Amino acid sequence: MSDESDLETVVGLLDDEYARAILTATCEEPRSVSELSEECESSMTTIYRRVERLSDADLLTEGTRPRSDGHHDTVYAANLDRVEIRLRDGELRFELDRRSADMADQLTRLWGRF
């Protein structure tokens, strides 16, 4: 959906407790679905559904986190910085700001901690 995310979609997502929990959990560092399931105290099925919806609205980005055993994890990071809804001149205006840093930068910082 990217730039075409509409007010109804974003408000609907932000009205969902699991979607909010996922965005909050991934705002500092990328997390896998299993990590999100544990942190949000929800089933992996629920997390997968919310991750898909958030990704479709471009509020969550997907990346890969390398592991020391040679395997990789798919991880997600919040792509939302700010939502603003204003009522001016008889019009409801909606503005959505996404984070400027990309997933690669976040994963590089995370990998540097190891």
Give the 3-state DSSP-derived string for the chain, with helices as H, strands as E and coil as C: CHHHCCHHHHHHHHCCHHHHHHHHHCCCCCECHHHHHHHHCCCHHHHHHHHHHHHHCCCEEEEEEECCCCCEEEEEEECEEEEEEEEECCEEEEEEEECCCCHHHHHHHHHHCC
Q: pLDDT tens digits, residue range 67-87?
A: 888 889 999 999 998 889 999
pTM score: 0.78
pLDDT category at 1 given cuts 50, 70, 90 is very low
What pLDDT does 51 receive? 97
pLDDT greater at residue 59 or residue 3: 59
What pLDDT does 109 receive? 56
